[in-house]
Amino acid sequence: MQDEYHDSLGYRKMTDRLESDYGIHLSRGKVLRLMDEADRLSCVRRKHFSEEYYITRRRMKDELPPDLIGRNFHSFTPCTKLVCDITYLTGSDETWYLNSIEDLFNGEILGWRIGEHCTSTLCVETVMAMENSSRTAEGCILHSDGGSTYVSYAYRELLLEYGIRQSMGRRRSCFDNARIESFNGVLKTECLYSFFGKNKVRERRVPVRELADQVERFIPYYNEKRRKDSLGHMSPVEFRLSNPKGTLPAVGRMNLLDNGKKVL
């Protein structure tokens, strides 16, 4: 049978073929032993991980958190609904990764980390950076896409330890995480393109260290000085300090007025 399949059948598939094609019922262990003795083991690339590893990965994907945001990217109280995402910083030499967490109340970036590798460690360190600041996120919702870094047990266990409720949108659906995607767009346009030039960035002619340094300078500016019309022409930090307990956005309040009276 191996001749027919160009020596590509592993012992698992061989066991299935023997049963389905010839009605021969053998355990996988016995098939593996017989193939080894006959020197007919598959010559294809073998898996790098154990079967238990793949079982664990399947279980992780089967136990994904629900989507608690549902594309409702509005919050009237600070640090109750947060979104996060990873974006690439691709330089002339290599690619680094920026993970950032945004508060839907005022658009403030509560925590961010830049790493050389896109791993769960990057996401864990970002949450820890947010928790180590003066702000607390206990009891809040933290929403992300369905990327493997956010699915990892290390990341999920940290959120559980901090009392953060994990929310997750669908894979490959940018609309389920549109607010933080919008921030990434602003970052690349106002931070990178305007400073280095759009063509130089897109053609990867800027060293990644210079890109990272510019991002590190831009985010504090974005939080503290960049004013937004949606926040009554205030920066995210100014708006939070003006409304420490939460309120409707300044522009939103104007929309609720009708002849000087609130519309319920």
Q: Convert the pLDDT of each residue in 92-127 to its tens digit.
A: 999 999 999 999 999 999 999 999 999 999 999 999
Could you report the per-residue pLDDT of 209-261, keeping only the tens digit for each?
Answer: 999 999 999 999 999 999 999 999 999 999 999 988 887 544 444 444 444 44
Could you report the per-residue pLDDT of 131-156, keeping only the tens digit for each?
Answer: 766 666 778 999 998 888 898 888 99
Q: What's the mean per-residue pLDDT of the chain?
A: 84
pLDDT of the residue at 262: 40
DSSP-assigned states of every residue in 72-100: ----SSTTSEEEEEEEEEE-SS-EEEEEE
Asked if residue 221 belongs to a domain, the reply is yes
> Which range of residues forms the domain containing residue 11?
1-46
pLDDT of the residue at 58: 66
Clarify whether residues 94 and 20 are in a common domain. Answer: no
Could you report the per-residue pLDDT of 161-178, keeping only the tens digit for each?
Answer: 999 999 998 766 778 889
Clarify whether residues 41 and 117 are in a common domain. Answer: no
Write out the two tokens for 96: 């680094």
E strand or H helix at 53, and its extent?
Answer: helix 51-62
Clarify whether residues 12 and 97 are in a common domain. Answer: no
Instruction: Write the burial class of residue 241 (CB in 10 Å: 0-12 exposed, 13-18 middle, 19+ buried).
Output: exposed
Asked if residue 261 belongs to a domain, the reply is no
Clarify whether residues 215 and 108 are in a common domain. Answer: yes
The tally of domains found in the chain comes to 2
- In this prediction the pTM is 0.72
> Cβ distance 75 to 241 under 8 Å?
no
pLDDT of the residue at 64: 82
Those residues whose C-beta lies under 8 Å from the C-beta of residue 66, and which sit 6 or more positions away, are: 167, 168
Write out the two tokens for 72: 């409702």
Distance CA 77, CA 79 (A): 7
E strand or H helix at 58, and its extent?
Answer: helix 51-62
> Which residue is it, tokens 């990178």?
192
Asked if residue 126 belongs to a domain, the reply is yes
Residue 27 DSSP SS3: coil
